[in-house]
Amino acid sequence: MVFPFGQLKTMSPSLDLEKTLATLRPILWQALEQLRQFYRQVKHLTVQDKGGDPVTLADQTIDAFLRHALQAHFPASQFGYLTEETYTPGQPLPQPYQWIIDPLDGTSDFLQQTGEYAIHVALVHDHRPCLAAVVWPEQEVIYTAIAGAGTYRETRWDSTQLRVQPPNEGRPLRVVMSRSHGGEHLQAFLSTLGVIQQIPMGSMGCKTASICQGDADLYVNLTGGSAPKDWDLAAPDLIMQEAGGAFTYANGELPRYNCADVQHWLPLVVGHPALSRWVGDRLQAFLAENQSYSGK
């Protein structure tokens, strides 16, 4: 199978990102199959509480599988491993590259069997992703991106490049919404955007993929008692950016990864760049007028 990647913008002369993705791809398909097997037996999984978030044997098994499979090709001397299931607070990983992994993004949706759960894998260099994959098991699709080379929607048979399109002025603004997060401040802000259609959706990776392939227009995140982490954002970030979209804080800044704090407290806006700038400006003004709301 040939995947038509464009001209690469090499992040480091020592690492061939296209070859790296070729190594990663079969590992992701194996992880997809394993996670789907757990999904078919979800009613029998024991659910543990991890800081207010559910965690299951599926999270732990896929995490271990991805780490061990990647470490066989990418040694820990050069590649750090920051994963949701093994993270402990501390200093940034010192290796030149860091794999940032969420083995099961959208565990609540996984347990509710909405089908909107994903695997996130990103390779980070100098605090920004240079390679990323979002796996949507129930769609049997993998979204991949290399910095400077575009975003692709890959099935077992073909690959299609994705480009984020501006909203259609003749229809409501389609906003993907979390089923388990949000709140009154977000609803109050969205009401200022005019006519919108709210689309409930699980994983951050699924939300981003939906925007990239034209099924939605916008995602806005306002943190409350918790904030998204590096493993929630790093892979969807590059997927959106390389599809020509924007994945930024409301002030237009890009998120940075593998820093001292893996939490991202600033409001996040995701969508077409023109829409993102407009929404980001309105969101900053809204928050300034409603100072009773604090992101942390």
Residue 136 is given by DSSP the state E
> Where is average pLDDT lowest: 71-75, 78-82, 191-195, 214-218?
191-195
Give the H or E element holding residue 31.
helix 17-40
Query: How far is the C-alpha of 121 from the C-alpha of 235, rounded, in Å?
Result: 6
The model's pLDDT over 91-101, given as tens digits with 9 standing for 90+, comes to 999 999 999 99
At residue 293 the predicted structure's pLDDT band, cuts being 50, 70 and 90, is: low
Encoding tokens for residue 206? 């699924």
Cβ atoms of residues 209 and 119 within 8 Å: no
Q: What is the DSSP string of 45-100?
A: PPPEEETTEEE-HHHHHHHHHHHHHHHTTS-TTTEEEEETTT--SSSPP-SSEEEE
Three-class SS state of 119: strand
* DSSP bridge pairs for 150: 146
Render pLDDT for 68-85 as a digit per residue (tens, 0 to 9): 999 999 999 999 999 988
**Model confidence, pTM:** 0.91
- C-alpha pair distances (Å), 124 with each of 21, 170, 189, 236: 13, 39, 32, 13
How sure is the predictor about 51, in pLDDT bands with cuts at 50, 70 and 90?
Answer: low
Instruction: Walk me through the domains of the chain, giving residue ranges and CATH numbers.
Output: 17-162 (3.30.540.10), 173-289 (3.40.190.80)
Judged against a pLDDT cut of 60, whether residue 133 lies above it is answered with yes
Q: Which two structure tokens, joined as six digits, stand for 245?
A: 């979209």
Distance from C-alpha of 232 to C-alpha of 203, rounded to nearest angstrom:
9
Residue 224 vs residue 235, higher pLDDT: 235
